Amino acid sequence: MQEFHALLELLAMLVFDPRTAVLIALLVIAGVSDYRSYRIPNWLTFGGATFALVYKTVTAVSPGSAFLLAAGGLFVGFLAMLPLYVLHAMGAGDVKLMAMVGAFLGADEALQAVLFAFIAGGVGAIGFALLKGRVGVLLRNTREVLFSLVSLSVAGVRPDARMHAARSAGRLPYGVCIAIGTIGFVLGRQLGLL
């Protein structure tokens, strides 16, 4: 019976809280776009972030603090993914998508959504490698990247995660992982599972 009430609360939240409904819709669109073309459009990320900033500010009792909370989430989402972009392990669209998610969720929840996105990405990478029959390549590349990162950081050299295409296990549309991880986090939190 508690599960049924939690499900009803979830549906009510999606109907009465446009912020959550818009976030989920934007994540689905971003995931589909990234899956089809390996691109996440700027109109989606910038438009979504703008919507989140404006919505939180306009609907809050204390607009100044609400804006700062949303801007802090945007900043946290951006900073959490930026190192992977700098290492060439992730595209700029993925970084902007996580920044948009942060604007919707705020700083604390943005960190949790990043963690869920990383978990979804790990599961997705393993599933992708299994599907393509490239698990050995994935494991070897993971070992090499970790060894290189440690070695280069000890030597004081800036690491670079780019690999030759022939040695790669394949391209994973990470926007899909961000969408699945974030939606899983939002729904899990609403259902009281987190």
Q: Minimal CA–CA distance to 176: which of 22, 34, 21?
A: 34
Judge whether 141 lies within some domain.
Answer: no
Interatomic CA distance for residues 46 and 74, integer angstroms: 11
**pLDDT tens per residue across span 34-57:** 999 999 999 999 999 999 999 999
Domain span at residue 18 reads 2-134+170-190
Could you tell me the two tokens for 32? Answer: 């589909």
What is the total count of domains within the chain?
1
Judge whether 18 lies within some domain.
Answer: yes
pTM: 0.81
Judge whether 52 lies within some domain.
Answer: yes
**pLDDT tens per residue across span 119-138:** 999 898 888 878 777 777 77
Interatomic CA distance for residues 176 and 117, integer angstroms: 9
